[in-house]
Amino acid sequence: MLDQLEQTEKGALAELSAAADAAALEAWRIAYLGASGRLKALMGSLKDVPKDQKPAVGARLNSLKTSLEAAHASRKDQLGAAPVAAGPMIDMTEPGLVDSRALGRAHIISRVRDELVEVFARMGFEVADGPELEDDEHNFVKLNIPQEHPARDPIDNFYVDNPARHTRPRMLRSQTSTVQVRTMEDAIKRGWGPPIKVVAPGRVYRPDTVDATHSFMFHQIEGLYVDRGVTMSELKSTLLHFARAYFGPDAEVRLRPSFFPFTEPSAEFDMKIRLRPDQPARWIELGGCGMVDPAVFEACGLDPEVWTGFAFGFGIERIAMGKYGIPDIRMLFENDLRFLEQL
């Protein structure tokens, strides 16, 4: 019996080194180590071995098992390390299942701003801008907001210079209407207008207490059109066009009488939009508008007997929140990736 085991081991190891691929290796494993393989059969015949030889044969059987298993494992490693000749090809150009590149994108406010500019550009509006660090001349005086007007209260503005001590105190602009003044002044100085047709998106600052609808910094987009014979109905049709282009063909606009020092007449404008198919359309207040006040033309050096115009200004966050169903303005500034990645 011990001889037989010796022969079996030799033969098995020889066959194993001849096994050249995974299939041959598996066939060898089944033949020798499998549930009805040679080793199992030899173990079964242990019962016929004379009693005095059993310990020796038993031990040899165990060492044979260990030796065959170890040889199998090392042959398996060898074959596994060798280059795979055949088998499924890997297409290296196939896109991965998980795109692990973390691609960034513009913030939702920047995207809405660009979309708004784009819509107005199609209606012939160019982009204008002005500084965020302004002076009260452009933020108030030339917009016909007199000294005693409550909007100029230091408590409601971020003054950089003390208004009580400076003749032209600097401040963080509280509205993009400043760009109306700058654009008209520029147009005269450089001799390129009127006509003037611009939109001016940008940041504005007000010391408001932060809550779901207020922030001390937000964005507005201002519009200004100056030409001969501009009418209020052009203002309304421009806003209607804009609303339909941006929110869809069912959008409606509504003007409600209001007051702003720099327009006369003035209006608040709302858009009625259906944000989701399962919801009724609703009115969303977007900002103010009106016909440019003659006092503003005069302050900027344009003859109000010749020039007419309309202006509007609305909040970009408002539009973004309305369009994307964002319930809280703070979400737009907290930079929480769980929020940003949804947009």
Binding residues for ligand DAH, rule: CB under 6 A, are 175, 177, 222, 260, 263, 287-290, 311-313
Any idea what DSSP says for residue 337?
H
Residue closer to ligand DAH (CB basis): 313 or 322: 313
DSSP string, 228-285: TT--HHHHHHHHHHHHHHHH-TT-EEEEEEEEETTEEEEEEEEEEE--STTS--EEEE
Least separation in angstroms between CB 299 and ligand DAH: 15
Nearer to ligand DAH, 159 or 339 (CB): 159
Can you read off the two tokens belonging to residue 87? 């088998």
CB-CB contact of 129 with 178 (8 Å): no
Query: What 8-state DSSP symbol labels residue 150?
Result: G
Cβ neighbours of 227 (radius 10 Å): 15
Place of tokens 């001349």: 137
Residue 220 CA: distances (Å) to CA of 178, 182, 294: 11, 16, 23
Going from the C-alpha of 264 to that of each of 143, 198, 311, 312, the distances in angstroms are 12, 19, 10, 12
For residues 26 and 234, which CB has a smaller minimum distance to ligand DAH in the complex?
A: 234
Nearer to ligand DAH, 161 or 285 (CB): 285
CB of 233 to ligand DAH, least distance (A): 16
Q: At closest approach, how far in Å is the CB of 263 from ligand DAH?
A: 4
CB of 311 to ligand DAH, least distance (A): 4
CB of 145 to ligand DAH, least distance (A): 10
* 31 vs 232, beta carbon nearer ligand DAH: 232
